[in-house]
Amino acid sequence: MDNKILQVGLIGAGRIGKMHATNIANNLPKVNIKSLADPSINKDWAKSLKIKNCYLDPDLVINDEEIDAVIIASPTPTHIEFIKQCSEYKKHIFCEKPIAFTVNEIIEAIDIIEKKNVFLQVGLNRRFDNHFQEMKKKLQDGSIGDIHTIHITNRDSSIPKFKFLRSSGGLLLDMSIHDFDMVQYLTGLNILEIFVNGNVFIEPDLKKIGDIDTATITLELENDIMCSIQNCRQTHYGYDQRIEIFGSEGSSVC
């Protein structure tokens, strides 16, 4: 058995970066976060997780020859450049979604990692949920039959701070992206058309940057499957994550 400890670097120690670091420290004994980089570091928190090095400069993480992989949890506008740098130094990458704001940048990132032969995993975590994997099995074994409609509810427990929202890429790129991924993961089909109706009910300042906090989304998939998605940034009662698939032989809800 390989007893090697995977040495990992972390870029970005905000809300999501802290979550990843804490999960690794508490659940993955074969992984060690050696170093992190962030403009504002909570050193007491880093010390509690036994993170050896805290830097302001992310280059000190990326250039470290002992680090095997890097978690990119920095603001979205920085993702593409960090992916490029990590690829150049042969670091495998876990990057929070989205990879970038434009299709051309995403294609560029994919080209780079393939050329440099490094792994890139994007933080679309819901396809690994046991309930959603069970739903996929039902689709594959035919117990639901031909899919007619899909309905997804995706509501966060509390809205992030406006500082994050301002650089997140907006509700569709930051939050609805999980649901677009789930639709394609479950069905294996491409999305042909998207219609979005959204509004601001929770954070008034979102209007200033042309964003929304609540949306109803309608998708048309290949094979004429209809899909509806409900998104909201806040519930007050906890995360609300549900999927219903209705088909010719029955339905499945989780």
The answer to whether residues 224 and 248 touch, using CB atoms and an 8 Å cutoff, is no
Work out the pLDDT band at 209, boundaries 50, 70, 90. very high
| Domain 126-253 = CATH 3.90.1150.10 | no
Work out the pLDDT band at 62, boundaries 50, 70, 90. very high
Model confidence pLDDT, tens digit, residues 21-45: 999 999 999 999 999 999 998 989 9
Residue 33's pLDDT is 97
Work out the pLDDT band at 186, boundaries 50, 70, 90. very high
d(CA 158, CA 232): 9
pTM for the full predicted model:
0.88
Buried b (16+ CB within 10 A) or exposed e, 146-162: ebeebebebbbeebbee
- Helices then strands, counting H and E runs in the chain, come out as 9, 12
Looking at domain 6-123, its CATH architecture is 3-Layer(aba) Sandwich (3.40)
**What string of DSSP letters covers 63-127?**
T-TT--EEEE-S-GGGHHHHHHHHHHTT-EEEEPSPS-SSHHHHHHHHHHHHHHT--EEE--GGG
Task: Give the mean model confidence (pLDDT) for residues 174-183.
Answer: 95
The size of the chain, in residues, is 254
Query: What are the residue boundaries of the structural domains of the chain, listed by start?
Result: 6-123, 126-253
Is 206 a residue whose pLDDT tops 50?
yes
